[in-house]
């Protein structure tokens, strides 16, 4: 859950909203529309780690493609292989 407040409210009582943001994100609006979010630093770090880099497959080198082709599933994830095999069999 999160709370929503105006930018003017935040500027009047920043300390209180800063404390609230440690418990849950605070959505800050401007002209009635969400514009920014005030959140705990730990939440920011957690979300930042989930940020993924995207690379187009056409940009992979032959060495990178060979490494992907030679890779294997970690133990315990065999059901995912079966799921992929079933999907490709249906195509």
What is the dihedral angle through the alpha carbons of 38, 39, 45, 51, rounded to the nearest 10 degrees?
A: -60
**Tell me: the pLDDT tens digits for 34-61?**
999 999 999 999 888 877 777 888 999 9
Residue 32: CATH number of its domain: 3.40.1620.10
Domain range holding 89? Answer: 1-91
Q: Regarding predicted confidence, which is higher, 10 or 50? A: 10
- Asked whether residue 91 carries a pLDDT value surpassing 70, the answer given is no
Residue 73 has pLDDT above 80, yes or no: no
- Provide the domain count of the chain: 1
Phi, psi of 2 (to 5 degrees): -145, 160
Tens digit of pLDDT for each residue in 24-37? 999 999 999 999 99
């Amino acid at each position: 859950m999160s709370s929503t407040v105006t930018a003017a409210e935040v500027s009047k009582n920043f300390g209180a909203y800063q404390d609230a943001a440690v418990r849950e994100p605070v959505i800050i609006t401007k002209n009635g529309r969400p514009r920014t979010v005030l959140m705990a630093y730990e939440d920011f770090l957690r979300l930042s780690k989930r940020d993924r880099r995207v690379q187009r497959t056409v940009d992979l080198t032959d060495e990178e493609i060979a490494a992907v082709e030679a890779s294997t599933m970690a133990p315990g994830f065999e059901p995912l292989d079966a799921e992929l095999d079933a999907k490709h069999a249906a195509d």
